[in-house]
Amino acid sequence: MYITKNNFTKFLDSLKKDYDVFVPVKKDKQRFYKRYDTFSDDIVLGEVRAFEPLKAFYSRAREKVADGFKPDATFAGNKPFAVVGVKACDLKGFKVQDFVFFAKGENHDYEDPFYIKNRHDNLIISSDCTCAIDTCFCIALGIRPYPKEDFDINISEISGGFLAQAGSDKGKDIINKNSDLFQDEPHGASDKRDAIRAYTAKQVEKNIKENEIPNQDLFGDIISKNYDSDIWKDEAKACVECGCCNTVCPTCHCFLLYDQKNEDNMARMRIWDSCLIKDFARVAGGANPRHKLWMRLRNRFDKKFDFFPKVANIYACTGCGRCISGCPAKIDIRKVLKRLVKNA
């Protein structure tokens, strides 16, 4: 189906009745999500991913998971989210997040009711990337710069509007509910979409070539073969232990539980945690199996490029480049991977 840009604005206005709608906006060179009120010129539905990861709409950075000793979970928020402009690199994050929090009968002991509720209720309107920035390397991880799955509706920006594709029954229902805003695909629209996709892919491939980023087919046992390598100590020298790489990563999922008490009540809270922080692996007796920073850096790569391929058959990196952009020490995951492959 096809929807004009004017009608897409009406479509977003319609979604506000049932969802808290979030759209990507651009300020200078930064892209981030904001709650949609009315359409504004800073909204960018194409281009590249926002800096915030999609996981923030599914696992809150800080949330209450138990209220006193009540047996039922308490769910925050009145409306589900409709997140617009989600990119393929973020959607791949669902593969890891679902494996951790959404058992689906895969020998898990527990399902996270908060995550599952958000997965069920929230709406994903993804969009093709229409350009690449210098930190994009998704193709090296087997991802194209346009969504193929895990969306409710995907939009592909072409001149004058968007091609829209439903990816779920929920997406089909919403398109049907707003059918007066959509029309049949114009002649040649798919060819224009494919040309934009090919152009964007070439930009990503140029990044990969210029930075000599190895393809995931070369990873193999690079972690186990380099487990005692000096690469980890060398790369960890600049790390300031801020945890930014974990926070902005679409696949990182570790959390910490703590109890918060006031005069009337006791609540259990959950916050995001970071494997680069010294206390992450510390146990109650004070022992810490990863007491050195380089060990914690190694653990991050071990989890993404050895553990998850073995237990879930997927690399827990999406090539989004957020950790490169956010790291104040300028640690570059692409360069580390290049060193590991060369040294294996």
Residue 256 predicted with pLDDT over 80 = yes
Extents of the domains making up the chain: 2-210, 216-343
Q: Which two tokens stand for residue 188?
A: 């040649």
pLDDT at site 73: 66
Count H helices, E strands: the chain?
12, 10
Residue 292 tokens read as: 């050195």
- Rounded to an integer, the average pLDDT of 200-226 is 96
Distance separating alpha carbons of residues 119 and 131, to the nearest angstrom:
28
266: confidence class by pLDDT, cuts 50, 70, 90: confident
Range in 96-110, 235-249, 280-294, 313-327 the model is least confident about: 96-110
Burial 14-35 (b: 16+ CB within 10 A, else e): ebeeebbbbbbbeeeeebebee
What is the rounded radius of gyration, in angstroms, for the C-alpha atoms of the chain?
Answer: 21
Note the pLDDT of residue 77. Answer: 63
> Is a pLDDT exceeding 60 seen at residue 152?
yes
In this model, does residue 314 exceed pLDDT 60? yes
CA distances, 110 to each of 97, 100, 106, 146, 163 (Å): 14, 9, 10, 33, 39
pTM of the model: 0.92
Whether the pLDDT of residue 264 is over 90: the answer is no
pLDDT at 104: 63
Q: Which residues contact 130 (CB under 8 A, 6 or more apart)?
A: 46, 47, 157, 196, 200
The phi and psi torsions of 284 (rounded to 5 degrees) equal: -60, -35
| pLDDT tens, position by position, 125-141 | 999 999 999 999 999 99
Alpha helices in the chain (DSSP H): 5-15, 88-101, 113-121, 169-177, 189-210, 222-225, 231-236, 244-248, 293-302, 308-312, 322-326, 333-343
- Starting at the earlier edge strand, list the strands of the sheet with 20-27: 2-4, 161-166, 153-158, 123-127, 81-86, 20-27, 30-35
